[in-house]
Copies of this chain bind each other. A is one copy, B any other.
Amino acid sequence: MHRLSQDFKGSTVWSTNWATIWVLTVMTLASAAGAIAPAHAETRATLFKLDNGMRAVVIPDHRAPVVTHMVWYDAGAADEPAGVSGIAHFLEHLMFKATETMASGEFSKRVAKMGGQDNAFTGQDMTAYFQRIAKDRLPVVMKMEAERMTKLKLEPKEIRTERDVILEERRTRTENNPTALMREQMDAALYLAHPYGTPVIGWMNEMQKLSHDDAVTFYKRFYAPNNAILVVSGDVTVEEVKRLAKEIYGPIPANDNVKRYERPREPVQRAARRVIYRDERAGKPIFQRYYLAPSYTTAKPGQAESLDVLVKIVAYGATSRLYRELVVKQKLASSVSGWYDGSGRDYGKIAIAAVPADGVSLEKLEAAIDAVIADVATNGVTQAELDRARNVYIADYTYESDSQSTLARRYGYGLIVGQTIEQIEGWPKALEKLTVADLKAAAAGAFDIRRSVTGTLLPEPSKPHAGATDAPAKPAKQG
């Protein structure tokens, strides 16, 4: 129903309990995991662990008598078996069906009756469920969430109906969206071995075959307290949540069979890739580039922070290098943007996107973009650029940290992909430490065309024999 805050990036599929998916194609500047700036001292989180292995984090915020209650599962699309893409997200939908004591759909109805909101979302690295509700109802929603953790009644008759729902979602959000289709093909080309190349919502042909067995298998494998993180933010005390968590989630037995397949890692990436997608439904041509990058979880200290700031300087907003050069000065682009998604457990991604100005070819636009990137990769950025970007980041984060649910998501996401509370809370400090030398070093390695995919969306009829029109240009002199 409501569009969730947009400070998540990449391929996360958000869906409401009534099965609307929000694919976040419009990105804001805010990064996801790791990019955590506690606004006030009192928002610092406390982490503890139950005897059954369930972790919990509490972020007190006493400004209003409401709480945000989330449960994060360490199981996402990248954990799906080959050929069963979409099952993580499908199961997320099925989690709103019947449990031992609730009828199908009753979960959300109860939350709504209590004046609350609930929702869920699935990403490559996690699946999460949340409710925002008056504080005195926290024990109630906790009990409901605890119940569906292991007592979901996955009835075969629900499969077909709900599968039709996710198929329709894919049609609406992906099949009917040329940009989404191009990006999906780009992701498939960016990852040679890692499952991030598979869309979170799933490939259509695999979604059509998702079965009751697939859902049960995924549920039994991953939905257990020792594979979950509880996040409560809002008008609560740590002691209160500890007591409730122990009482409500504590009795759920750990599942010793929770086991993650080790995900494949990328082999050496040696060759630039291109994806040429023609779709007459597209309004304008689009240029898009992805570079494989480290994530906050896998980067060297300071590296992911540098990339966050660097990409902001290069590509985000009206003061960015690309905007000033391409939109304002050379008038080659009508829009340009870019972001660094450092939120993945295994890999991050830098994205650059641009729409050419009327009458400008994608080739000319691309050459100009590459000139700007090559300059930054060689010469780095200025102290003034670093200061401005960093300050805006921190200011934005301070502002956004006022949101109880944003905070809950930040901690939940950071923890689920393997960060510590210290890393999560230390983000602004890490940002403050960055020097232009750090950014220069990051820039030198970030824009390696051999680890990239360049996508072009052409608003033309799809042509089977258009090969020659996709041939590479003569080498340009710059770059």
Give the B-binding residues of A (Cβ under 8 A): 81-83, 85, 181-182, 185, 188-189, 192-193, 195, 197-198, 203-206, 261-268, 270-278, 289, 361-363, 366-367, 369-371, 373-374, 377-378, 447-450, 452, 454-456, 462-476, 478-479
Contacts and interface: CB of A to CB of B under 8 A. Distances in A.
A266 to B, nearest CB: 8
Contact of A192 (B195, B197, B272, B475): B197
Nearest to A376: B465
Contact of A273 (B261, B274, B289, B479): B274
B468 A447 contact: no
Given A82-B82, A271-B276, A273-B274, A468 B370 contact: yes
A469 B476 contact: yes
Contacts of A273: 185, 189, 273-276
23 contacts: A81-B261, A83-B261, A188-B192, A189-B273, A192-B203, A193-B206, A204-B268, A205-B266, A270-B277, A271-B277, A272-B277, A272-B470, A362-B472, A366-B468, A369-B467, A370-B471, A371-B468, A374-B467, A378-B465, A447-B465, A449-B465, A449-B466, A449-B467
A234 B266 CA distance: 46
A474 B271 CA distance: 22
Nearest to A203: B267
A465 B370 contact: yes
A270 to B, nearest CB: 6
Contact of A272 (B466, B473, B475): B466
The 10 closest A-B pairs by CB, nearest first: A370-B468, A83-B264, A203-B267, A271-B277, A274-B274, A370-B467, A469-B475, A367-B468, A448-B464, A188-B192
A289 B465 CA distance: 13
Given A182-B271, A271-B275, A373 B465 contact: yes
A479 B472 contact: no
Contacts of A268: 204-205
A472 B471 contact: yes
A472 B362 CA distance: 8
A469 B479 contact: yes
A476 B472 CA distance: 11
Contact of A366 (B203, B378, B471): B471
A467 B450 contact: no
A465 B477 CA distance: 12
Contacts of A449: 463-467, 470
Nearest to A363: B471
A464 B377 contact: yes
Given A195-B82, A465-B479, A275 B272 contact: yes
A289 B204 CA distance: 26
Given A205-B265, A370-B465, 9 more contacts: A83-B261, A188-B193, A271-B276, A274-B274, A363-B472, A377-B464, A463-B479, A468-B478, A470-B472
B264 A206 contact: yes
Contacts of A275: 271-274
